[in-house]
Amino acid sequence: MPDIRCIGIATGGGDAPGLNAVIRAATKAAILKYGWKVIGIVDGFDGLIWPDKAIELTLQSVSGILPRGGTILGTTNRGNPFCYKAVEGGKEVTRDISDQVVANARQLGIDAIITIGGDGSQAISFELYQKGLNLVGVPKTIDNDLSATDITFGFDTALHTVSDAIDKIHTTAASHHRVMVVEVMGRDCGWIALEAGLAGGAHVILIPEIPFTIEGVCRHIAARERNGKRFTIVVVAEGVKSPMEFMEKRRMSSIGNVLGDAIAKGANKEVRVSVLGHIQRGGTPSPFDRILATRFGVAAVELIAAGGFGRMVCLKGERVESVEIKTAIGHLKTVDPNGELVRTARAVGIGFGE
Ligand code: F6P
């Protein structure tokens, strides 16, 4: 068993509801079960560039943070110590400052670090682990697109936010006989669009995994009109693959707006667009996310106690387990276009714009 006296905790990448629940759980387990000191590294790996900004996490400092969104430690999705951007002599330069980061962690007396982050942050964690830092990972993304874990915390809360928005949009869609386009997050995968679309009763769902055409979307709208349904809700994932004619316009505007214009022309309908944006990452975590985040925080501490460095906690079925970070990174969990969820959606009349 490793000789651990002090651990660090860092949050990296975009925030997600449940980050504070992980910080709280890991801090409590480390102090109450093992008597370790806990140091909060601020603003992701950037915090190891300026170690004097680190803060001690105590039972008092994590008290009351369970229901809070965001991260009390701060985060960034730019800080990479292997290609750190700095301005020198008026010019932007890129430097590898990873040796300094490892040395700073040691100077802080940190024996092991828990990094809570998505694929990008875990890739950096793995490189730092290879440089000799004792690291364990906790997966995080509202997109739920990491293949190493069945679910990431934050996703469930985002689903609540988006399905609530779709419910509200339903009433104006029906009252005004409009097409309502709802753009949701999902940079590479369509999990939020698909699951929130199902939960919110959307009529068309557009995801990166299923190519669509405007004609396909308009055909679906026209079929609904023929059946007396004079409104349609289209949920689109931000990462959807655009038809060729969209490429140029998409650089200027969000996919939701570009799509809305095209549908208005193609279906000859009044269209309104809601881009939900970062509200999907905010708010108090759902009970499911609080519980999963707490389980992950405690499991990360147990992993350190057992010397399981270079590993990341994950959910497999009902159980919290761990996998090697090196095998976990770089593998997206995409929606299966022929899978049960998509087949269920099709069975209840949802179109995918084909
Ligand atoms: O990966 C999570 C995510 O929320 C994506 O869905 C989205 O594209 C991205 O982060 C947005 O990041 P930023 O906060 O930098 O705008």
Task: Tell me the CA–centroid distance for residue 188 and ligand 1, in Å.
Answer: 10
Token reading at 212 = 């669509």
Q: Is the pLDDT assigned to residue 192 strictly greater than 90?
A: yes
Confidence label for 78 from pLDDT (cuts 50, 70 and 90): confident
Residue 86 confidence (pLDDT): 86
Interior CA angle at 222 toward 218 and 224, to 5°?
A: 120
Among 70-74, 87-91, 297-301, 318-322, name the one with the lowest average pLDDT: 87-91
Residue-wise burial string across 321-331, b where 16 or more C-beta atoms lie within 10 A, e elsewhere: ebbebbebbee
**Quick one: pLDDT band at residue 250, thresholds 50, 70, 90?**
confident
Above 80 in pLDDT, residue 176?
yes
Q: Is 185 in the pocket of ligand 1 (CB under 6 A)?
A: yes
What per-residue confidence (pLDDT) applies to 50?
Answer: 87
- Report, as an integer, the average pLDDT of 52-75: 97
Write down the mean pLDDT value for the chain: 96
Task: Please give the number of the atom of ligand 1 that sits closest to the Cα of 281.
Answer: 4
Please determine, for residue 121, whether its predicted confidence score (pLDDT) is greater than 90. Answer: yes
Q: Is 3 a catalytic residue?
A: no
pTM of structure: 0.96
Statement: residue 251 has pLDDT above 90 = no
Angle at alpha carbon of residue 156, lines to 22 and 183, rounded to 5°: 125
Please tell me the distance from the alpha carbon of residue 274 to that of residue 271, in angstroms, as a whole number: 10
Whether residue 293 is predicted with pLDDT greater than 80 in this model: the reply is: yes
Is the torsion defined by CA of 312, 66, 288, 305 positive or negative? positive
Q: Is 173 in the pocket of ligand 1 (CB under 6 A)?
A: no
Question: Is the backbone of residue 76 left (phi > 0), alpha (psi -120 to 50) or beta?
Answer: beta
- With a 6 A CB cut-off, is 71 part of the ligand 1 pocket? no
Q: Is the pLDDT of residue 300 over 80?
A: yes
Contact criterion met (CB below 8 Å) for 97 and 90: no
